[in-house]
A and B are shown apart, each in its own frame.
Chain A
Amino acid sequence: MAYSQDLIRNFCIIAHIDHGKSTLADRMIELTDTVAIRDMEAQLLDTMDIERERGITIKATAVRMYYTHTDGKQYMFNLIDTPGHVDFTYEVSRALAACEGAVLVVDATQGIEAQTLANVYLALDNGLEIVPVINKIDLPSADPEHAIREIEDVIGLPATDAPRISAKLGTNVNEVLAQLVDLVPPPEGSAEAPLRALIFDSIYDNYKGALSYVRVKEGTVRAGMRIRSMATGNEFDVTEVGVFTPTLKPTEELAAGEVGYIAASIKSVSETKVGDTITDVANPAKEPLPGYKQANPMVFCGIYPADGADYESLRDALDKLVLNDASLSYEPETSMALGFGFRCGFLGLLHMEIIQERLEREFDLDLVTTAPSVIYKVKKNDGTELSVDNPSNLPDPSEIMYMEEPMVEAHIMTPSDYVGSIMELCQEKRGVFKDMKYIEENRVNILYELPLNEIIYDFFDQLKSRSRGYASFDYELKEYVQSDLVKLDFLLNGDMCDALSTIVHKDKAYGKGRAVAEKLQEVIPRQQFEIPIQAAIGGKIIARETVRAVRKDVLAKCYGGDITRKKKLLEKQKEGKKRMRQIGTVSLPSEAFMSVLRIN
């Protein structure tokens, strides 16, 4: 029944953004006739549309292909497509753990980037066989030999035999398929052993509930079995198992070595978490597979509806998103300035942006978000300790003995020309230089220890602009260190605006206070009275700006032909006013909160 393990190859593709991962995957799908060429685009797009309609993430997917090798045998390929960003490192590591091999795609015109390197190390940690591939050889600026040298020098992988391909044109993609058979080992593990299936992703389907994407390591899973999630202890009855063609296709069973999905009427993806092990209740495994971690949010911000009346819609939208995204957390919070909203936790900045964008795009919500924050640890004088992810919850300074903030280790890869300005950036961001290695003559890998709260604003944008887009960046969370942090508040006409408060390092407080006050002075519309803007630490004012009073707000002329236009103008003005937030006596447009986030 089960496909012979010798003929199975499970692999993923590691590539930097734009280095051609999806194009290569598409070519493989074509070459293996998995999807008829004429249907290909249509079919893939259709799936996407369905996904969108159902409100599920366009994230990790998998596809099963059959490839006939030069030895005449037909091999089963399971390609697991992983999200490729630092925020999702854990998800990537679990997807890698589901494979025996990884295709490393390197752009022949650009070489290896930081994120690629990080993922290659992750793959090596998971014992994967790496199949290097040089892509984009069709471009005039391609230098495949250089890319090969880089792979050998930087990663230490022999790459002389790496296929030189053009995924776009389909050149030599066959060779990649052949090498997958030759280089990637087949899976091991007995189909008769107690079931151990690794969840490498989960998505929510409106009809089938949360689906677990699994790699069966040992044993066999089939419909009708009662299964248990070993980390959570939740038990479910399997209603369906199947594979990805790439659409979901039910099969009788999934045996050791295979990749597929399990449907078990699971209500939400939070009950079938990435990294968890599924076992058979009737014949349970003794130990779960290694590596399960609870994915914890690292970055937090307040999300509020621009129009207070949309609070319910925002909650419904978050309820829906979390069905499909176990790493998103949210709880109601109230701000004096913004009213009712939610404190949301994210894996990282990209994750935060994706969620915000999805809320706005898929749910048609207009949002106001507060400045992102990390979790600070506060040691109080009375010996108690607490974690603070919202500046408003910080105890009075007199109660605080000391505070700690999370640090990250950041790898930055850059052409050597930009080392100076990047190091300057890292210094500005309170970075501690750790190491610098020349990968080759003019490419450098810089290692810095940076406070997470310094990189959650504009670090990435700055890095890109200071390196003309060439530098790439990856980080991982290290430990908490004691730090001299203060809460920076802003007062408008004497009233504090809680939504503008942030926690910053003492040395940064003055500069930040001044910059934000100046920015606010620009964006706050003039009102009928003068508005003092003050930045304060504790009771001490550190910066002050003033929005001058408007003296007159009236149309000079209004005769017969002006009436309709004038009325429309007033209606528009009123609409804008409705969208303003009232901080004491001051009306503040939503844009004010946003613009403050974009301060260098």
Chain B
Amino acid sequence: MSGLYVHIPFCKAKCRYCDFVSFADHDCMGDYCAALLKEIRLSAAALPKREYESVFFGGGTPSILPVGAISLLLHALKESFTVLPDAEITIEANPGTLTEEKLKEYKAAGINRLSMGLQSANDALLENVGRIHRYREFVQNYECARAAGFDNISADIMYGLPGQTVKDHMDTIEALYRLGLDHISAYSLIVEEGTPLYTDIIGGAESLPAEDDAYLMHKKGMEFLEQLGYHRYEISNYAKPGRESRHNVNYWENGEYLGLGLNSHSAMRIEGQWLRFANTASLPDYLSHSARGVRPLAEPPEIIPEKEEMFETVMLGLRMTKGVDEENFRKRFGKSMEEAYGDALLSLREKGWLLRENGFIRLTEEGLDFQNEALMSFLDD
């Protein structure tokens, strides 16, 4: 399958753990949308036709765009690309940027899935990491979204935040369950070099929860979510039945996707070759490229040799609890996983990290905890 990703690199304020390309300065939002509209047309003309089954507005904070912008972009997408009628169309929205008006606009434009960045139900923790919203705002926005007719809402939460306890994490999960969220992404905090949080932690001004506590948050959180009816379908993603993110599952199935906007990435099979390409990460370059009618690629597309494509398929597929579909793998590469990775499969099975079930090869719970280590076995010595 194929997905469309649109990147909106603006935020109201930058969170202290964030290392993404995003801007808190919004002067060029209008220019950016104009450039994006141009890129949509340029890319559609340059690339082979696909039937897109999902669209994802990610960021940044796409919901920060003024009323009307998203409709305009989505309209342009539908005009230039084939977006299937039952496509999953998601927008990431942060509490504090959503209004009733925007929600109504999204709904009317055809957006059918909302992904809200909550992070935690504990306001002190939110404030500490630089989130602009409070839990109450999230609840208001959420209820407003339900009222606007959104029936598929996801929330992102984080564990391992400075000062967070296991109880904080459980409380957040319980609150989301009570609100009736359809989908929950629970990420362990990664302290990226160069972020303000990193500086504080290195400098000792801030400290992360003890490793054992962070691990407990992961384990207990997972058990609790499962118990509440959210099944884990990917390392960090939990959904009520049928509410898995189709757009993201496509990434993990190593499917095709086209990224539009600043620093967005794409993967596509063109003339038999598996290609990856990415847009420039520089906003001025992005704007000037589009103005000149040139696609804003950072570099020429990279041709991924089949062996690497195979590894990527395993690397991504084994993030999902269902694992890699053996039949799909065989169809794609003309050989079975057994033939391609016999030794790795054997050693991981012996270790108790890997199982072969119902036509899928998947990692066990322990295997998922050590996914990096498990993937090493699939790389050449």
> A residues within 8 Å of B by Cβ?
528, 551-561, 563-564, 566-567, 570-571, 573-574, 577-578
A566 proximity list for chain B (CB < 8 A): 315
* Residues of chain A lying within 8 A (CB to CB) of residue B257: 560
B265-283 CB mask vs A (1 if < 8 Å, else 0) is 1110000000010100000
Whether B315 pairs with A561 at a CB distance below 8 angstroms is: no
Partner of A567, one of B236, B311, B369, B370: B311
Whole-angstrom distance between the Cβ of B208 and the nearest chain A Cβ? 14
CB-CB contacts below 8 Å: B324-381 with A: 368-373, 375-376, 379, 381
Residues of A within 8 A of B38 (CB): none
Known contacts A553-B373, A567-B312: does B248 contact A561 (CB below 8 Å)? no
Which one of B211, B259, B266, B376 lies within 8 Å of A570 (CB-CB)?
Answer: B376
* B369 x A558 contact (CB < 8 A): no
Known: A570-B375, A570-B379. A563 touches B265 (CB 8 A): yes
| B373/A528 in contact, CB under 8 A | yes
Interface residues on B, range: 35 or more
Tell whether A578 pairs with B381 under 8 Å between CB atoms, given A552-B218, A561-B259, A567-B312.
Answer: yes
| B238 cross-chain contacts in A, Cβ below 8 A | none
Check A560–B265 contact: CB distance below 8 A.
yes
Most buried by B among A551, A557, A561, A573: A561
Contact between B276 and A564, CB atoms less than 8 A apart: yes
Residues on A with C-beta less than 8 A from B312 are 563, 567
The answer to whether B316 touches A558 (Cβ under 8 A) is yes
Q: Which chain B residues in 216-272 approach chain A with CB under 8 Å?
A: 218, 235-236, 248, 251-252, 257, 259, 263-267
Q: Which of B211, B252, B259 has the most CB of A within 10 A?
A: B211
By a CB distance below 8 angstroms, the chain A residues around B369 are 551-554
Cα distance A556–B215 when bound, in Å? 13
Inter-chain contact A561/B265, CB cutoff 8 Å: yes
Q: List CB contacts (< 8 Å) of B187-218 with chain A.
A: 187-190, 211-212, 215, 218
- Kindly list chain A residues whose C-beta atoms are within 8 Å of the C-beta of B319: 558
B315 near A567: Cβ-Cβ < 8 Å: yes
Contact A574 B5, beta carbon cutoff 8 Å: no
23 sample A-B contacts, Cβ–Cβ < 8 Å, listed by A number: A551-B211, A552-B369, A552-B370, A553-B370, A555-B372, A556-B187, A556-B189, A558-B235, A558-B251, A558-B252, A560-B267, A561-B259, A563-B312, A563-B316, A564-B276, A564-B302, A567-B312, A570-B375, A570-B376, A574-B376, A574-B379, A577-B376, A578-B381
Report the Cα distance A564→B278, complex, angstroms.
Answer: 10
Leading 6 A-B pairs by shortest Cβ distance: A554-B371, A561-B265, A551-B215, A556-B187, A553-B372, A574-B379
Q: Which residue of A560, A567, A578 has the most chain B CB atoms within 10 A of its CB atom?
A: A560
Instruction: For the complex, give the distance between the alpha carbons of A555 and B236 in Å.
Output: 9
B308 at the interface (CB under 8 A from A): yes
B308 surroundings in chain A (CB, below 8 A): 567
Q: Is the Cβ of B370 less than 8 Å from the Cβ of A557?
A: no
- Closest chain A residue, CB of each to CB of B371: A554
Asked if B371 and A553 sit within 8 Å, CB to CB, the answer is: yes
In the docked arrangement, what's the CA distance between A564 and B302, Å?
10
Q: Chain B residues with Cβ under 8 A from A571's Cβ?
A: 379
